[in-house]
Structure 1
Amino acid sequence: MNSKAQKIFFAANLKFLRERRKMSQETLASILGLTRAKLAAIEAGNTKSPQPEDYLSFSEFFKISIDSLLKIDLSKLGELKMRELEAGNDVYIRGGNLRVLAISVDKSNNENVEYVPVKAKAGYMAGYNDPEFIAALPKYSIPNLPTQGTFRIFPSVGDSMLPVPEGSDIVAQYVADWTDLKTDTPCIVILKGQQDFVFKLTTLSPNGTIRLKSLNPLYEPYTVEAADVMEIWRFYAYTSREFPEARSEMATVLTAIKNLEEKIGKIVS
């Protein structure tokens, strides 16, 4: 008995997901360690049997199961379903059932913001894409946040980002497309294998590496591979229990000198 062949959407889904993030083939290929030619061949369906590691790389990067990449035409899903998918809820489970997205909202039906405490860091590394783990995190409602995007709160640790005080709570917005980052964008960067988050000025290089720079000049900038980064969250705001210190006399003098130099420069020109 002949059964109807299963249609495979892998190639079309990769192109759809890449274009959804407004990424070029060159950028995505660089991040995933592929050549642009190989990625183009996969998207065009000219590679009938991608290697297992290719399936795993795309699945991990887009946070979508291999089953969904193969069997679901993602372009046919509505925006709400795609947002659920990108939030960590896979649309394909045995039998094609949809997983219900666990969303926490306030009385006005506004989405809450999850807080990731220091003690939950290790768990977050393992459960960042687990809806049950995320649902169990403390949640808050923050006024005046943009209506678009996903926000979370991360505590800052250490003094590498002074004058932002250690122990501040950083409100940050999830960055789906890293190519949108401008040079030295302040971000919470979640690194693989280190069970830690870093708060740094973040720059994506053309070769796919990511430069992390501290505000505190005592710390040297360093570079990590894109493959070693799990998530990036763009800084939005912070709260602190420390009262800001007054400007030092030296800082005031330096500012006055700078202003005087600018005035002299205008007169001379």
Structure 2
Amino acid sequence: MENKHPKIFFATNVKYLRERKKLSQETVAEKLQITRAKLASLEAGNTRAPQPEDYINFSDFFKVSVDSLLKVDLSKLGELKLRELESGNDIYIKGGNLRVLAITVDKRNTEHVEYVPIKAKAGYSSGGYGDPEYIATLPKYHLPNLPKQGTYRIFPITGDSMLPIPDGSDITGQYVEDWLGIKAGTPCIVILKGNQDFVFKMVTLQADGQVLLTSLNPEFHPYTLPLGEVLEIWKFHSFTSREIPEAVTDLGMVIREIRELKGSLRS
């Protein structure tokens, strides 16, 4: 049986990524501290055995995994997928996905549903989301009627941007591994980088690499964020609340504004 060698896309990918960023060979060569002649040779595929440090340097420079640089024809991907790769969410890394989910399980190896309290928000988004020891400290629950497939987590929300879902509700979300599969206008908990708050919004991934976040409450204007600001996305499954949701009507909004005005006058 003939042994077919796998196709390597390193040369064409380096040229494609450089041209996509509108960078000259001189600029890239200078930043990577190599000669322009070497870069030209690499892009032309004339270097039969690039050094391991070449792979690593180009991977760091273009923010794309070595695995993808070698195995994936990046020119065939859409702009959104490329931005996904550059933001650290490289779905082509086999066995080493950078977006690894930390979970906890019980004695029967069944996943817990962790609850992320409001006071834990900052710690969660600043690194705890990927730390198994941190996740193990969160309150844990087993919820009835959850699908057997998937990982779930509970997040409290504040504010009334998603009315009729009340302020203070707990949102149970299902972990989304492939963000590109999210349908436009899907309600999700979005975990943002650093010490930013996580938000509950209707999510739409745009072709320009931005995430459009829309509220159910029309009083709140939609806004966009770069995909690179997002750490995790949890698709809405259900919510629990001690309040009965009220329909958002024009009259209801007027009444709420009057109440808020009275409250500000008293203070």
Judge same fold: TM > 0.5, yes or no: yes
Query: What is the Cα deviation at residue 150 of structure 1?
Result: 1.1
Q: Is residue 93 of structure 2 the alignment partner of residue 86 of structure 1?
A: no
Alignment of 1:1-269 (within 5 A): 48-49=54-55, 50-51=57-58, 53-54=60-61, 58=65, 61-62=88-89, 74=94, 86-88=100-102, 103-105=104-106, 109-125=109-125, 126-245=127-246
Which amino acid in 2 is paired with 1:87?
L
Secondary structure of the corresponding residue to residue 164 of structure 2: coil
Distance 1:209 1:142 in 2: 34
3-state DSSP of counterpart to 1:128: helix
Counterpart residue number, 2:255: none
Indicate conservation of the 8 Å contact 1:214/1:220, yes or no.
yes
Task: Find the aligned partners of 2:59 and 2:109 in 1 and give their Cα distance.
Answer: 42
**Which stretches of structure 1, 4 residues or longer, exceed 4 Å deviation after superposition?**
45-48, 54-60, 245-248
Could you tell me how far 1:56 is from its partner in structure 2?
5.8
The aligned residue for residue 71 of structure 2 is none
Supply the AA of the counterpart residue of 1:104: V
TM-score (normalised: structure 1) = 0.59
Task: Name the CA distance, whole Å, in 1 between partners of 2:179 and 2:49.
Answer: 28
Partner residue, 2:78: none
Q: Which amino acid aligns with 2:154?
A: I
Output the CA distance in 2 between the equivalents of 1:127 and 1:246: 36
Distance 1:61 1:219 in 2: 30
**CA separation of 1:134/1:217 partners in 2, compared to 1, >3 Å: closer, same or farther?**
same
Q: Deviations over 1:184-239 (max 9, x none)?
A: 00000111234311100000011211100000101000011101111111000000
* Contact 1:63 1:86 (8 Å CA) reproduced: no
Where do 5+ consecutive residues of structure 2 fail to align?
1-7, 23-42, 66-84, 253-267
Letter paired with 2:111: E
CA distance in 1, matches of 2:117, 2:159: 15
Match of residue 257 from structure 2 = none
Aligned-residue CA RMSD (Å): 3.7
- Between the aligned residues of both structures, percent identity stands at 50
Query: Could you say if the C-alpha distance between residues 104 and 63 of structure 1 is closer, same or farther in structure 2, counting changes exceeding 3 Å?
Result: farther
Structure 1, unpaired ranges of 5+: 1-10, 13-24, 36-40, 89-101, 252-269
Change (3 A) 1:234 1:247: closer
Q: How far 1:86 sits from its partner (Å)?
A: 3.2
CA distance in 2, matches of 1:243, 1:165: 8
Cα distance in 1 for partners of 2:173, 2:90 equals: 20
